[in-house]
Chains A and B, each alone.
Chain A
Amino acid sequence: MLPNWLIESETYAPPKDGGAFVVKTMKTIGMVLARLKVQRGHEKRHAIPAVIKFFLLVALVLLTSVTQNRLILLAMLALVQAYLAFWPAKDLASILKPALFASLLSVLIFAPAMIMHPQGIYNNLIVIAKVFVSVEMVNIFNHTTQWNHITTALRKLHIPSIFIFTLDITLKYIVLLGTVINDLLTSLHLRSVGKNHRKYQSVGGVMGVTFLRSVEMSQQMYEAMCCRGFTDDYKGL
């Protein structure tokens, strides 16, 4: 015999939760960070070594920005677009979106000048085109090169190892901590049904736990390094 309260049909609808943006925003951050881990670039196995690519990138960006020759600018525009035309569609968006956004920003910056001094519009257009193609090239480099290859390239350029070490560890821990945040927020999300009045306290909790985890991790890493013979000296890196 079932008790009465069990037979009654429930009509509980959780009240709408306002201010979900806090959790949402933090979740997005966590996702973006975790995405670094599974880099979606399509670096090929026999790609150009990252060092050469890096040199090429710096040279081409410099060339694009200092050139007075419009033919060179046209050539850069044409060749980069031609290269991109062979890319699969899904990778194109991640290159073109930032490039278009940067160009739009420069259009906004130039807008007053364009309106007040229409004779200069042609020169403004050239600067905008330069911004577009430079951002595209940086994005192409970023998209086709893995993070660890970028740090390797920097090392080969004889950048002090402490910088590379910091950069490398930072990138790695951004990923690890991003995953931690993501997990914490997921568990928070699962536990709070309906209106959660103590959300802002939970946000503090998430940040606090992440900080504690990071301290713990750095301590663990230092100990692991000591166990492997690290003598507070980065020369051998």
Chain B
Amino acid sequence: MHIPENYLAPATCGVMGAAMVPVWVHAVKKVGKELPKEKMPLLGVGAAFSFLAMMFNVPLVGGTTGHAVGGTLIALLFGPNAACIAVSIALLIQAVLFGDGGILAFGANCFNMAFILPFAGYYTYRLIVKLASKNQPAKSGIHYVAAAIGSYVGINLAAFFTAVEFGLQPLLFHDASGNALYCPYDLSVAIPSMMIPHLVVAGVVELVFTVVVYAFIRKVAPDMIYENILAQTEQEPKKHIPVFALIAVLIAATPLGLLATGTAWGEWGADEIAAVENAGKVLGYTPSGLANGWELNVLMPDYAVSGMNEIPAYILSAILGVALLVIIFKLISLPMKGRR
């Protein structure tokens, strides 16, 4: 779902980036109020979960790949505003260090994965819990059902917005001969190509990832759950060893994400796109915006080191990403004032 560089027109990127600014400002303000200083490093752990979720590529129908995002999970753990910030920073690290998602398209990627996804997921969850607990106190099971539905709705809505952003490009930006300048597929192609795999596979992966991790954390570290933070229930500060152990296991398992060999829909390189087949027709040309586009040089493109064994590079990239996220959120917590 990471929109690469040059697939969106600079104008679109500008609009999406501008749309994110008030969201970020609001989120930062809210998080400063809601989350106590001690929770900030844990938010980094949440961002690390999201970063790892995005490294697990699964093969999707139609030969492409996709991944979970984990935005709803962070929203359940720390609230949707904190999730917005956490996923944004995870996306920034992916874009700057690993070249996953474009720098210019950063605003658009944040809009889809850091804004639409966690907010839609979280409020769906809230709505279901509220409806279910109208007459009688909610059973614990309802939280899991709500989390499952919320995460499924969240990722699919995000995929839908991504598809719309892709699909608008050929309608808005094309040259005199009708060849698209940026993403060449219009809405009628982009929406089904994005939505069918996400509805069928990636949504389910996100659902499973969210529910499994959420259930685990509810059990071993209930003080990490947003509702308990809001309720300000006094809890013994716990050591979160099981949570860190889970992260270690996820890091060790990331090479599984390499099993899916295809390229994600809408993330082909400029050399690949001319040969991409759609409904039996190859595209046959490289959109000029892609061929002559600007691209940032990054240290580890696609989480790998060229000419090296992919598996250790992938694991090391995962460690680097997770560690950086934890460090960044620890640094963010420094200037914050403690609750009392």
Contacts and interface: CB of A to CB of B under 8 A. Distances in A.
Chain A interface size, under 10 / 10 to 19 / 20 to 34 / 35 or more: 20 to 34
Contact of A85 (B313, B323, B333): B323
A152 B317 CA distance: 38
Of the candidates B41, B308, B330, the one having the most CB atoms from chain A within 10 angstroms of its own CB is B330
B327 A92 contact: yes
The B interface, classified by DSSP as helix, strand, loop or mixed, is: helix
Contacts of B324: 81
Contacts of B312: 71, 75
Contacts, number: 66
A221 interface: no
Interface in A108-161: 118, 121-122, 125-126, 129
Interface stretch (B54-62, B169-177, B219-227, B294-302): B294-302
Contact of B300 (A74, A90, A118): A74
B248 to A, nearest CB: 10
B331 A126 contact: no
B319 A81 contact: yes
B217 interface: no
B316 interface: yes
A129 B300 CA distance: 11
Chain B interface size, under 10 / 10 to 19 / 20 to 34 / 35 or more: 20 to 34
A126 B297 CA distance: 11
B320 A89 contact: no
Interface string A54-74: 000000000000000111001
Contacts of A75: 312, 316
The A interface, classified by DSSP as helix, strand, loop or mixed, is: helix
Interface in A197-233: none
Contact of B316 (A71, A88, A92, A118): A71
B327 A71 contact: no
Interface in A70-87: 70-71, 74-75, 77-79, 81-82, 84-85, 87
24 contacts: A69-B308, A70-B305, A71-B308, A71-B309, A71-B312, A71-B313, A74-B300, A74-B305, A74-B316, A74-B317, A78-B316, A79-B319, A81-B320, A81-B324, A81-B327, A82-B320, A84-B327, A85-B330, A89-B334, A92-B330, A96-B331, A122-B297, A122-B299, A126-B299
Interface of A: 69-71, 74-75, 77-79, 81-82, 84-85, 87-90, 92-93, 96, 118, 121-122, 125-126, 129
